[in-house]
Chains A and B, each alone.
Chain A
Amino acid sequence: MIILAFIFIGVSMLLYVLLGGADFGAGIIEIFTDKKGVNTISKAIAPVWEANHIWLIVIIVILFNAFPEVYSTITQYLHIPIMLALFGIIFRGTAFTFRYYDPFSDTSHAIYTFIFKLFSVFTPFFLGVTLGAVIFGEINTASGISFYQQYIAPWLNLFSISLGLFIVILFAYLASVYLSGEPADEESNKDFKRLSKLILIALVITGGLVFIIAEFSGLHLLHKFIKSPVSIGCGVFATLLLPAFLIALNRNRASLVRIIAGAQTGAILIGWFAAQFPVLVVLQGSPSLTIYNTVAPDKTLLMMIIALFVGLAFVIPLLFYLFKVFKFSEKTNTDY
């Protein structure tokens, strides 16, 4: 059951990255597109954005339900980056909604758009920084150490920042891939495609950077990675998909491109989880928090898993229906 709860976190995280991440990414891409592109973006994400972001809440609920000490440790020691990410979530979500629902296009629209773009970068950056801090192992639960050591050093380091950057670029990459298949005119399609190639290059570079910085910071990510056969497999798989991705992109196979990009992201995430297993939070000076030493009693796990399965039995078909109606249909007008 512990493993099942762990898998649920992994799956929710993957869905959050693929769906919510692409949604953040759409805002990042907007920085590099013209007005037509912006229109495509707005129409593409409006019907699904709220649903896409609920995966984050699912992750949080599973954490405090099943691994409460993980939740309370993260929220306590990473208060600052989490709070910053939350500010980003507020600003970005409301700016997007306001832009969509403000019927008069005057200067207010320019302001909404600016805020939307800014926090589309800001929010995933701090989510990535938080994740980086969780892996990095500078969180120190000892008492009597300075404010800086306890609440700032764990996340204000090169590794966490590089991971934040990586996440931002990963999200932008996912969005560019999705958008290049959105029903729009030929030209914006081309733009999105060109963009996705450029971003892919940036992604590979920052990905390498994360590993290099990890090595220099004494976090032997690569070492961890090659210790687990699953991680190696995932790494190889994601790399092998790179040429396949470029071929599919050049041949205009929109859905294949999306699937490959999704599979790559999934492989990276699974590889990372496998390398990390069973650790959830790495601590300094005390044993890491694992799924085993923080797990809630069996009864709690059982009840939570039942709730998740029943909930998903309703959510998944509805979600498919939602995507079917808006994402895979030929009609281009979202009639507002």
Chain B
Amino acid sequence: MDDFLAARLQMAVSLGFHIIYASIGMTMPFFMFVAELKWLKTGKDVYLQLAKAWSKGVAIFFAIGAVSGTVLSFELGLLWPEFMKHAGPIIGMPFSWEGAAFFIEAIALGLFLYGWKRLNKWVHLGSGLLIGIAGVTSGFFVIAANGWMNSPEGFEWINGRAVNIDPFDAMFNAAWISQSVHMIIAAFAATGFAVAGVHGAILLKHKESQFHKNALRIALTFGAIASLIQPLSGDYSAKDIAKRQPEKLAAMESLFETQEKAPLIIGGIPDAEKKEVKLGIEIPGFLSFLAFGNFNAEVKGLDQIPREDWPPVLLTHISFQIMVLFGMIMAAIAILFLLFRWKWEYLLEKPWWLRILTFATPIGFIALETGWMVTELGRQPWIIYKIMRTKDALTPMPGIVYPLILISIIYLILTFLSVYLMRRQIRYVHEKRLNS
């Protein structure tokens, strides 16, 4: 395998791994905050136990998120030293803020996890909220850095060097808000569905457990609300990249030719060589509408982009299709859930409903990962959009395939281990509850 592909894969594996743990680490504290708040309000012990059980999950995910994040802060330089040499002084500021927020998150987590008896109840509750707020804040900042790669601002590029650097403009780049809002909502939706799915699966076996019923309800409320807001944020993102990165939109939608009344292509397999899409369903005018709010608007196709600047069309397109499909399924489940909660409460305990939720456990994270792939693949071949090509940032060190193999094996083992540990935690909580 050549070093360039190996380095890209290592980055994909590392980010793809980290993003799951980081997403859970920043959103799940809100779930346990709600559980603890309910305990303080109602005095029902079952909520306290829920908050404690969830906090252990958060501790495990957070720890893995923290170590994989530390690895990433080095990997950026290990794999792309040329990129970091130029980008560091420009986007270092959001990383500094992110570091501070992450620090606060870690401290608050320490207080929450180990302070059940040492802290005043309300201070303890506050520490729980602080974990969540600091976590989301750190996510917001770190995405500012990624936003800058898509929309590089705050400097002038002269003779291969950045001059007149303004870190403030770089941080407040045009892609930041749409990207970070979309990502954070996705994290809430994915975590909400995953947690609800796990508790749903247990409820199928232990129908009367109030503990799991409460857990499912809190988690899915977060997941459902997030899933319903997400299409709005997605629409905003689509309009944003239609203006800023037309080749990304064209790759997502496999639009090879610039046209008015551009069709929305659902599914299908694009062939970049023949410039056609096989087996897709076309809805005329809809892409124009989604991108510009006008069915007749002209949408830029890949024909206007030099061939060497095309993103990988097939992967970007398929990733986008999967993200949208799963996002829609989640939105549909969300509508049913809110409807049931409002009108037909008894349906929430039906086995078929629980089975749907169990089935939906991973789909939020699949949507999140494929969405991340869309934004990363859609930016290629650039590491800094229209400034620096990814291949020019590559480390000259040969043999990158070896760290790639090692990192992949380690992260695979850790994935299995964290699932294994979760199962043991759940079994333990369950046995303890039966015995008490």
Contacts and interface: CB of A to CB of B under 8 A. Distances in A.
A89 B60 CA distance: 15
7 contacts: A71-B88, A75-B78, A102-B424, A300-B93, A319-B103, A326-B114, A331-B118
A72 B84 contact: yes
Interface stretch (A167-175, A205-213, A230-238, A305-313): A305-313
Nearest to B108: A318
B115 A325 contact: yes
Interface stretch (A23-31, A52-60, A216-224, A274-282): A52-60
Interface in B320-349: none
Contacts of B398: 147
Contacts of A47: 110-111, 113-115
A311 B84 CA distance: 23
Interface of B: 56, 59-60, 62-64, 66-71, 73-78, 81-82, 84-86, 88-90, 92-93, 95-97, 99-104, 106-111, 113-119, 165-168, 395-399, 403, 406, 410, 414, 417, 421, 424-425, 428
A325 B119 contact: yes
A50 to B, nearest CB: 4
A243 interface: no
A123 to B, nearest CB: 11
Interface stretch (A92-100, A178-186, A247-255, A260-268): A92-100
Nearest to A329: B118
A105 B108 CA distance: 28
Interface stretch (A61-69, A153-161, A187-195): A61-69
Interface stretch (A32-40, A79-87, A196-204): A79-87
A292 interface: no
A76 B77 contact: yes
A334 B414 CA distance: 27
Given A98-B60, A103-B424, A61 B92 contact: yes
Given A71-B88, A86-B74, A322-B107, A311 B114 contact: no
B96 A336 contact: no
B92 A76 contact: no
B421 A57 contact: no
A52 to B, nearest CB: 9
Given A83-B78, A315-B107, A318-B104, A102 B421 contact: yes
A68 B84 contact: yes
Residue of A48, A103, A329 ringed by the most chain B CB atoms within 10 A: A103
Nearest to A307: B96
Contact of B99 (A53, A101, A311, A331): A311
Given A101-B56, A318-B107, A72 B82 contact: yes
A110 interface: no
Residue of B114, B119, B168, B399 ringed by the most chain A CB atoms within 10 A: B114
Contacts of A91: 410
A300 B77 contact: no
B158 to A, nearest CB: 13
Given A101-B56, A101-B421, A89 B84 contact: no
Interface in A101-119: 101-104
A296 interface: yes
A300 B59 contact: no
B110 A326 contact: yes
Nearest to B77: A75
B89 A296 contact: yes
A76 B397 contact: yes
Contact of A97 (B59, B68, B110): B59
A50 B114 contact: no
Contact of A299 (B76, B96, B166, B395): B166
Contact of A101 (B60, B84, B168): B60
Contacts of B96: 61-62, 65, 303-304, 307-308, 311
Given A65-B96, A87-B406, A314-B100, A60 B107 contact: no
Chain A, interface size category, equals 35 or more
Given A64-B77, A65-B96, A103 B110 contact: no
A100 B37 CA distance: 26
Contact of A50 (B88, B109, B428): B109
B59 A101 contact: yes
Nearest to B82: A72
A51 interface: yes
Given A61-B99, A89-B67, A93-B63, A304 B93 contact: yes
A95 to B, nearest CB: 10
A313 B183 CA distance: 28
Residue of B67, B84, B116 ringed by the most chain A CB atoms within 10 A: B67
Interface in A279-308: 296-297, 299-300, 303-304, 307-308
A74 interface: yes
Contact of B417 (A58, A94, A104, A308): A94
Contacts of B59: 97, 100-101
Given A97-B64, A297-B89, A297-B165, A315 B109 contact: no
Contacts of A259: none
Given A89-B67, A303-B168, A65 B110 contact: no
B60 A300 contact: no
Contacts of A315: 100, 103-104, 107
A299 B167 contact: yes
Contacts of B85: 68-69, 71-72
A54 B417 CA distance: 24
Contacts of A69: 85
B69 to A, nearest CB: 8
A116 B73 CA distance: 22
Nearest to B94: A307
A94 B67 contact: yes
A169 B223 CA distance: 49
A64 B76 CA distance: 10
A334 B68 CA distance: 27
